[in-house]
Structure 1
């Protein structure tokens, strides 16, 4: 497709990078063979390719590039679930929610659950090694990828791994492609490991006067158990969600923690009591627990709604920094100081149980000075995460927006090795130019 109106709809992803280009053309293949045809033509004509799923990237990973073909996987939607092997074989255009639903129909569960699970694609999840709310206990996308079909930059299609749970044959190439952000090849099929259904969970909610007190409570819990969920919202996100959804959240709270235990029987009771005690000992003004599925889902939904709710306050620069858990209070306090120094609103939400935070920097793009201050804060938050021994991205990927800070985190030798691998698999550099390197 080359219609300008259609191409315009594929320029931006969820990151809304103002430097987005315009595709040379849009292609929407349905099979691996069709992807190979596109890649071979692009290789022969030295035309770059940007691979795109549903466009939910928060780091600019699927932003269009001038003169490049945008290859959308949205029509690659085949799916089979195998109860005998507890696996699903999915094309990349399927939504995370669709894979979950298909697994559930067979009495199985696909755990990775980004907040955008209803609209993000499995291909995008693989590209960024996406996580989500339950990853503190159940892991991230790479923990569930058993096999891949990948089209390389020269048009060859590789099959890596398969339905077997154990495989030590050769280098772990399957894992190499998970999280590679479209730089090394185009994923056209994913074999996913499924689990038995998650046990019913009990939810514990704690309201705190300050984000610092809540961050200490996180450490008090995670130093003793691994909860099924441990999510964090600050006062800005609490009030934004309440404005949008009117759920009865405590508007006076400085921070809210939402934790879950899905341990069975007495072990679950003990975990819930431990979480309640940890919250209270760290100064929670109110601690509430429930085993009611509807009530539990309400609090989970509040956390999932945080980004779109805060976005109603203005345009966002979305962070994805993570630190070792003992450094979480220092990170949250540091973000507050950065917000004050730059005179910008920064709302912090977090998958707090694994130290992965999402500072949301609110700004008005028509205000040049405020936008400059917001961008300065964006870089300072990544600098802070690196200083604390953490990462500039826990689950969203480096994309185009964060590549300027990657070298500071990983060092020259790792960047050189990354460039060597990229050159070996894509010597002409046609796959997703401008991302990561």
Structure 2
């Protein structure tokens, strides 16, 4: 149902002054995420919660009146997962930014609005490191990372968000706050509910606090950058590398992305390269050199035109920042649809070739960047939104890329989430029985269906 003016006034009066905003201009700031996929509705209010208690109050109000609730972090999502719903409320968690480091337990206790970069900085002050490393780490929030089980550039060796979650507080659909896990490293008491909520995209509950495992800070090590004539050759090199060694980073960029990044801001990349592979090793001593040499040999065997190595951190950061800036740079070329498909690593060349074929058939440009060491790729469809034929081709390409990944035994999303943009393709990947099981879990935890309706399921 849609909340009427009197009900919204009750919500405003329940919470401290300034927490609830109802003005159109203020609401507009919270309607869409970075995907800007056109799915956003118009909420009746935005609750800018300052603590878990205020989240509970807002959810209790929504549950009592059957009003939809959309949780929102920093708004950097790429699948429409936090798009607002008509007649609902958006609960923004960006004011909840507390970070506490417990160096003895090697954990960070954080609120969902804390930025990934701020958690890293706080941990670094104690010689510790929080590894999950999305490209948007400087502007994305921990709550959003938890909601989508974000990965990033370091996940090939260090894993994704769920690998670092020891505990969390979650507000359920009736306003109850449950506390799961704790600072202990091992805990198998009861069902693994932590894993259930990580990656649930706000459809099962709203995360208001998390206990994150930290590890000792890693050394800078060495960086290798290899140029290839084609993405297919580069992806074959990735397969060869992953059969022999696990670098701490293994990223790919195609020629379209290279040129987009250079147009946006010069990073010193070779515009003529068909593909650029960026690898890093943080192994210690002689092991670092040996690891980089193995990577170099694999690149050479697959026809790398040029291979460059450095141990200079600033020089390495220039190449890594080029990879991180890919999404922003590609947006300058036109409208974009963000993909996030993954396959088993040995099938990466098949995925790369298939995506090129889809681009040709649909008459669109598909730029390709990848967390290649995991087989997780980000094909980005670039098109002219003012041209109906281009829009149709882009949408067809978007759908075809997901179907290609499914046909190869892969996934429609490795880390960005299903959100609203990929909801239609989820049954094709999961099948009827698993979809039914997902819905049974959703119904058990959110029987009225008020939590992020329209997302995922």
Asked whether the two chains share a fold, i.e. TM above 0.5, the reply is yes
Match of 1:274 among 287, 294, 298: 294
Consecutive aligned runs of 4 or more in structure 1 exceeding 6 Å deviation: none
Deviations along 1:212-238, one digit per CA (max 9) or x if unpaired, are 110111011001011100000000000
Residue 75 of structure 2: SS of its match in structure 1?
Answer: coil
Work out which of the residue numbers 96, 101, 104 in structure 2 matches 1:84.
104
For normalisation by structure 2, the TM-score amounts to: 0.95
Contact preservation (8 Å) 2:68, 2:88: yes
Q: Decide which moves more: 217-226 or 15-24.
A: 15-24
- Check if 1:229 corresponds to 2:249: yes
The whole-number CA distance in structure 2 between the counterparts of 1:80 and 1:282 is: 47
CA distance in 1, matches of 2:197, 2:286: 41
> What's the counterpart of residue 44 of structure 1?
64
Alignment partner of 1:248: what SS? Answer: coil
CA contact (8 A) 2:50 2:95 kept: yes
Correspondence for 2:284: 264
Match of 1:373 in 2: 393
> Does the residue aligned with 2:232 lie in a helix, a strand or coil?
helix
Q: Please point out which of 160, 169, 175 is paired with 2:180.
A: 160
CA distance in 1, matches of 2:436, 2:264: 46
Given candidates 102, 106, 115, the residue that maps to 1:95 is 115
**2:13 paired residue number:** none
Q: For residue 361 of structure 1, what is the aligned residue in structure 2?
A: 381
Which residue number corresponds to residue 171 of structure 1? 191
Does the 8 Å CA contact 2:39/2:420 hold for their aligned counterparts? no
SS in 2 for 1:233: strand
Q: Secondary structure at the match of 1:132?
A: coil
Q: Aligned with 1:181: secondary structure?
A: coil
In structure 1, the residue corresponding to 2:70 is in which secondary structure?
Answer: strand
Matching residue within 69, 72, 79 for 2:92:
72
Post-superposition offset of 1:58 = 0.1
Kindly state the Cα deviation for residue 10 of structure 1 after the two structures are TM-superposed. Answer: 1.3
**Secondary structure of 2:390's aligned partner:** helix
Query: Structure 2: how far apart are the matches of 1:368 and 1:146?
Result: 48
Q: Match for residue 424 of structure 2? A: 404
Q: Distance in 2 between matches of 1:15 and 1:24?
A: 22
Partner of 1:341: 361
**Of 133, 138, 144, which aligns to 2:164?**
144
> CA offset at residue 78 of structure 1?
1.1
Quote how far apart the aligned CAs of 1:19 are.
2.8
Secondary structure of 1:111's aligned partner: coil
Gap runs ≥5 in structure 2: 1-20
3-state SS of 1:207 partner: strand
1:124 to 138, 144, 150: 144
SS at match of 1:428: coil
Give, in whole Å, the separation in 2 of the partners of 1:122 and 1:375: 30
Q: CA deviation at 1:393?
A: 0.1
Query: Residue 239 of structure 2: SS of its match in structure 1?
Result: helix
Residue equivalent to 2:9: none
Q: Corresponding residue for 2:415?
A: 395
Corresponding position of 2:439 = 419
1:18 aligned residue (26, 38, 46): 38
1:243 aligns with 2:243: no
Question: What SS does structure 1 have at the residue aligned with 2:50?
Answer: coil
Which residue number in structure 2 is paired with residue 53 of structure 1? 73
C-alpha distance in 1 between matches for 2:267 and 2:418 = 34
Query: Paired residue for 1:211?
Result: 231
How many Å apart are 1:272 and its aligned residue?
0.7
Mapped partners of 1:195, 1:9: distance in 2: 36
Determine the C-alpha separation between the residues in 1 that align with 2:261 and 2:36: 22
Work out the CA distance in 2 between the residues paired with 1:199 and 1:317. 36
Contact 2:108-2:123 at 8 Å conserved across structures: yes
- TM-score with structure 1 length normalisation? 0.99
Q: Secondary structure at the match of 1:310?
A: helix
Comparing 107-116 with 240-249, greater Cα deviation is found at 240-249
Task: Find the aligned partners of 1:206 and 1:231 in 2 and give their Cα distance.
Answer: 11
Structure 1 gap segments, 5+ residues each = none
